[in-house]
Amino acid sequence: MKNPLQFLFEVKQELHKVQWPTKAQTLQYSLLVVAISVVVALYLGALDAFFEFILKQFV
């Protein structure tokens, strides 16, 4: 096992190599995730209502 201080030093070096997203990119991606979640929720809600309607026709 490596020296813990050496490990932390290497972690710091690797983190400097990461290309972090800008605030604008983060906002854009977050809004995209919310929009897709809303669309999927509406789709599943519509399917649920449709199948509920179909099942009530047989009862």
- Could you tell me if residue 8 is inside a domain? no
Q: What is the pLDDT of residues 27-42, one digit of tens each?
A: 999 999 999 999 999 9
- Could you tell me if residue 13 is inside a domain? no
Please give the Cα distance from 45 to 39 (Å, whole number): 10
Percentage of the chain exceeding pLDDT 90: 93
- Could you tell me if residue 15 is inside a domain? no
* CB-based contact 21:29 (threshold 8 Å): yes
With 0.85 as the threshold, say if the pTM is over it: no
- Could you tell me if residue 5 is inside a domain? no
Is residue 1 pLDDT above 70, yes or no?
Answer: no
C-alpha 41: how far from its chain's center?
14
Q: Domain tally for the chain?
A: 1
Of 22-26, 32-36, 40-44, 54-58, the one with minimum mean pLDDT is 54-58
Domain range for 27: 20-59
Question: Which residue type sits at 13?
Answer: Q
